[in-house]
Amino acid sequence: MKLPPFEYACPTTLPEAVQLLAAREDAKALAGGQSLVPMLAFRLTQPTLLVDLRKLADLRGIKITETGVRLGAMVRWRDIEDDARLSTAHPLLQAAIAHVAHYQIRNRGTVGGSLAHADPAAEMPGIALTCEAEIAVVGKSGARVINAADFFTGALTTALAADEIIVEVRLPPWPQGRRWGFQEYARRRGDFATAAAAVFFDEDASGRARNAHVGVIGVADRPLRLANVEALLNGQTIDGGTIAKAETATAAAIDPPEDIHASAAYRRALAGTMVERALQQAGK
Amino acid sequence: MLIRFEVNGSAVEVEAEPRLTLADCLRHQLRLTGTHIGCEHGVCGACTVLVDGDAVRSCLMLAVQAEGAKVTTVEGLSDDAELTPLQKSFRKHHALQCGFCTPGMITTAHALLSEEPDCDAARVREVLSGNLCRCTGYIPIVEAVLDARAAYRDNAGGVAGKA
């Protein structure tokens, strides 16, 4: 369908963008537009003003320092794919982002757009949650930092206020030697995940897992971290027996929805398998 | 809104309301109907054009966002006299039946081969997974793209200076 009518603004500074959003109740920020424009085409949302963020240079760039990886909100999937530093600075991020959408969408879709859209099956929200990312935002009452754990409040719903814009997402530093895995199942690569799992853990001197993090997407109204599975992994050697327990615990921990793509039982089993395979990948 | 950008090497000036997609702007305002609209919500890839060299879905971009950009459509790849090596390869391999998806396939493959002239079949399939062909002709399409790689290694696909 053709898009509903709206006004358009293309501010050149962040304060100007915030002001535009704050002044109009149903204004919306436009980043890459790869989720928002289809929503408009389906008339699922009808904002009266779109505030295009494309000229805001502050929102671009990938910064890698000893405090971690900072992704500007307007960083595109393509930028993450092309940044050779990330293969060591955050391999889990790069592996997960390789599953995001198709070639043309990857040239425009952005980190901030995906976080703000908060699709329950999207990779970036899942990685932000699993890695305990901080999401830096700015609004009319100033800047604040929201923990990913508090950011996703439901399907397509976040803690972001109507006048707030995501500035960047901060991923904690990634130590050398960390074990990780990312596994996703979609009927066609690039489509939204039917289910996917992101895992990482560090190892103590005797090779046992510590600091285990396990996240799943596509199985609830938001990305989930599975504390029961993490507890089960910590202090253990990640062998076949531990992995089998993690698979069972994953399936037990979730209550996935049913839709035309998969039944609840199938999704539950699939999520277990994704965690199993991600842990096997991490062990290699 | 009055917007100015470049299409296929020529400066254009268009009066576009904000809700007009780049795809509709190209087709209706600029009469460049080589860019096809299939799904109109970013799934089928038929409307793929190049914006500053990147393949993008023109149904998911507003025309007003193209302000200042260099846009290349399928019309901009060859001159009227001769097909490009990629287009010839599509003909040679029978890589189209009804042809509706072909402009999107050509623009997407052109973007890919311009950057990765040595890509393998798996990469071609991955990149073209965002382009739907309902005549189920993917195998000849992949073969056509692979066969055109040599032209991109040697002389930018025969479209140097245009795209």
Say whether both B72 and B89 belong to one domain: no
Give yes or no for A187 touching B (CB within 8 A).
no
Give yes or no for A3 touching B (CB within 8 A).
yes
The verdict on residue B96 lying in a domain is yes
Band (A41; pLDDT cuts 50, 70, 90): very high
Distances, alpha carbon A161 to alpha carbons A11, A28, A37, A81, A117, in Å: 19, 11, 20, 30, 13
Say whether both B61 and B114 belong to one domain: no
- Exposure of A166 by Cβ count < 10 A (0-12 exposed, 13-18 middle, 19+ buried)? buried
Q: What stretches in chain B show pLDDT beneath 70? A: 160-163
Written as one letter, the residue type at A204 is D
> For B57-88, how does the pLDDT look when each residue is reduced to its tens digit (9 = 90+)?
999 999 999 999 999 999 999 987 899 999 99
- Exposure of B161 by Cβ count < 10 A (0-12 exposed, 13-18 middle, 19+ buried)? exposed
Number of domain units in chain B = 2
The verdict on residue B121 lying in a domain is yes
Q: Which of A215, A183, A211, A221 is nearest to A98 (CA)?
A: A183
The verdict on residue B163 lying in a domain is no
Q: Nearest Cβ partner of B130 from A41, A54, A105?
A: A105
Chain B: nearest CA to A104, how far in angstroms? Answer: 4
* SS3 of A123-143: HHHHHHHHCCCEEEEEECCEE
The tally of CA atoms less than 13 A away on the side-chain side of residue B103 is 23
DSSP character string of A161-228: -TT-EEEEEEEPP--TT-EEEEEEE-SSTTSPPSEEEEEEEEE-TTS-EEEEEEEEESSSSS-EE-HH
* SS3 of B58-126: HHHCEHHHHCCCEEECHHHCCCCCCCCHHHHHHHHCCCCCCCCCHHHHHHHHHHHHHHCCCCCHHHHHH
Chain A residues 188-207 with a CB less than 8 Å from chain B:
188-190
- Torsion angle defined by CA atoms of residues A107, A110, A111 and A114, in that order, rounded to the nearest 10 degrees: -120
Query: How far out from the chain centre does Cα A207 lie?
Result: 29
**Which is it for the CA torsion A65, A69, A71, A76, positive or negative?**
positive
Instruction: With beta carbons under 8 A apart, name residues in chain A contacting B54.
Output: 78, 107-108
Q: What is the pLDDT of residue A152?
A: 98
Q: Which of A178, A120, A181 is nearest to A154 (CA)?
A: A120
- For residue A270, the surrounding DSSP H or E stretch is helix A264-283
Can you list the domains of chain A with their CATH numbers?
7-52 (3.30.43.10), 57-171 (3.30.465.10), 179-283 (3.30.390.50)
Instruction: With beta carbons under 8 A apart, name residues in chain B contacting A109.
Output: none
Residues belonging to chain B: 163
Q: Do B56 and A2 touch (CB under 8 A)?
A: no
Contacts of A92 by beta carbon, 8 Å cutoff, 6+ apart = A127, A130, A131, A174, A180, A182, A198, A200
Q: Are A219 and A265 in contact (CB under 8 A)?
A: no
Say whether both B59 and B91 belong to one domain: no
Look up the domain containing B69 and give its range.
2-76
Give yes or no for B64 touching A (CB within 8 A).
yes
Chain A: nearest CA to B60, how far in angstroms? Answer: 6
Last residue of a domain, one of B23, B50, B76: B76
Q: Are A162 and A196 in contact (CB under 8 A)?
A: no
Chain A residues 78-137 with a CB less than 8 Å from chain B:
78, 101-105, 107-108
Chain A: nearest CA to B153, how far in angstroms? Answer: 21
Q: Are B101 and B132 in contact (CB under 8 A)?
A: yes
Say whether both B72 and B91 belong to one domain: no
Last residue of a domain, one of B34, B50, B76: B76
Q: For A71-77, what is the mean pLDDT?
A: 98
Q: What is the pLDDT of residue B162?
A: 47
Say whether both B139 and B107 belong to one domain: yes
In this structure, the strands spanning A7-9 and A49-52 are parallel
Say whether both B13 and B65 belong to one domain: yes
Q: For A251-259, what is the mean pLDDT?
A: 95
Rounded CA-CA distance A265/A255 in Å is: 9
Rounded CA-CA distance A38/A1 in Å is: 9
Per-residue tokens: B67: 């302000």
Q: For A150-174, what is the mean pLDDT?
A: 97
Q: Which of A153, A149, A146 is nearest to A227 (CA)?
A: A149
Nearest CA in chain A to B52: A107
Rounded CA-CA distance A201/A230 in Å is: 9
Instruction: With beta carbons under 8 A apart, name residues in chain A contacting B45.
Output: 102, 104
> For A175-195, how does the pLDDT look when each residue is reduced to its tens digit (9 = 90+)?
999 999 999 999 888 888 999
Q: Do A104 and B108 touch (CB under 8 A)?
A: yes
Say whether both B11 and B70 belong to one domain: yes
Q: What is the pLDDT of residue A190?
A: 87
Q: Do A6 and B61 touch (CB under 8 A)?
A: no
Rounded CA-CA distance A168/A234 in Å is: 31
Q: Do B19 and A52 touch (CB under 8 A)?
A: no
Chain A residues 10-49 with a CB less than 8 Å from chain B:
10, 30, 33-34, 37-38, 40-42
Q: Are A48 and A24 in contact (CB under 8 A)?
A: yes
Say whether both B68 and B92 belong to one domain: no
Last residue of a domain, one of B14, B42, B76: B76
Q: What is the pLDDT of residue B11?
A: 98
Q: How many of the other CB atoms lie within 10 Å of CB of B19?
A: 18
